[in-house]
Amino acid sequence: MASICINEKLTDDELRSILSKLENDKDKEIFGLVCKRWLGLQSNGRKRLAARAGPHMLQKMAARFSRLIELDLSQSVSRSFYPGVTDSDLAVIADGFRCLKVLNLQNCKGISDKGMSSIGGGLSSLQSLNVSYCRKLTDKGLSAVAEGSQGLRSLHLDGCKLVTDEVLKALSKNCPNLEELGLQGCTSITDCGLADLVSGCRQIHFLDINKCSNVGDSGVSTVSEACSSFMKTLKLMDCFRVGNKSILSLAKFCKNLETLIIGGCRDISDESIKSLATSCQSSLKNLRMDWCLNISNSSISFILTKCRNLEALDIGCCGEVTDAVFHGLGAMETEMRLKVLKISSCPKITVTGIGMLLDKCNSLEYLDVRSCPHITKSGCDEVGLQFPDCCKVNFNGSLNEPDVLL
């Protein structure tokens, strides 16, 4: 019987179809070991790659992985290497990975505006770029990206402290489909910049302006009105100029809001929070308002009883909150969906209040009671509190915190 060579019988398209049905990454790598032809098909079909490589290796990778869509060259803060990614590397990427849509360069501290200009000039299909903590970058390089990659949907610039409102103008002018923008710690961003941004980018659903100390009620109100139905996540931690006007604007326009971070916004008070809870009672899932010192039992109780899909709440350091915040839970007809509750440094909450919470909440996965003198492990054992099996209770800071409210 004559032998049959599979390479003579199957076309490239048929082999790609077989490859596409392999779910395990290891199996896909083994596929490429059969022969050069199969290796070429496996390489060309690869869509994602994480690498640590210089320009010569990147050139070889570009030739092999010609259809790559996602490239991750990010570095961790604790394990960065020298010299890391350089502007020369970015020139190779811009020239060799023309199909690239997602590029992660977080913590690549060696890159500058020159490299960003290469990216803007070569990657017209780019949709997502993360250059967080690339501290040399300025408006010039990032504006070049906005002008060259006009299909951009996600941009993270956290920690890029040289960035100003000029970048927001460039995004507004060139990137109308922008949906996600991270500006944490970009302290030169102002209300005027946010107004410029949303004059052209009105589909933003994620905006992180944590620690942007020059942003206040005017900017937040403009964003909430312009991006009303799209906005789902807004982060405003330590924006000390943000007050009740911002929260009332969110309550009026952003009825699909899911995550709100307002920790450290000390001028926010009960009435605006109640308005927000009423407007977003079906959508709100995550709320962080630690160090909001004007918040009391009335608004937090309102949130717990009104927002039926709430999953995470942080009221740490709200020192006037007492067990009374949990009194209304007994009248609720359905179980709470709360998974994360942080009440650290709330000295007036006791094991009695926690007991009332547990009576209505079997879904709790993490409870932070650090610096709550009336809630100790021995105290909980004495009164027989029964925490859900999956719940971790942080009594003294020994547990890692979930990142849902960061």
Provide the 3-class DSSP secondary structure of residue 241: strand
Band (pLDDT 50/70/90 cuts) for residue 51 is confident
**Residue 83 exposed, middle or buried by CB count within 10 Å (0-12, 13-18, 19+):** exposed
Is pLDDT above 60 for 223? yes
The pLDDT assigned to 36 comes to 66
Q: Which two tokens stand for residue 289?
A: 């308002």
Task: For residue range 236-273, list pLDDT tens digits in order.
Answer: 999 999 999 999 999 999 999 999 999 999 999 999 99
Task: For residue range 362-398, list pLDDT tens digits in order.
Answer: 999 999 999 999 999 999 999 999 999 999 999 999 8
Mean pLDDT of 287-307: 97
How many contiguous H segments (helices) and E segments (strands) does the chain have? 16, 14
Task: For residue range 104-137, list pLDDT tens digits in order.
Answer: 999 999 999 999 999 999 999 999 999 999 999 9
Could you tell me which residue, 337 or 83, shows the higher pLDDT?
337
The CA distance from 164 to 190, in Å, is 8
3-state helix, strand, coil in the chain (%, to 5): 40, 10, 50
CB 93 within 8 A of CB 103: yes
Is pLDDT above 80 for 30? no
Task: Kindly report whether the global pTM for this prediction surpasses the value 0.85.
Answer: yes
Q: Which two tokens stand for residue 43?
A: 């390489």
The pLDDT assigned to 47 comes to 82
The pLDDT assigned to 7 comes to 72
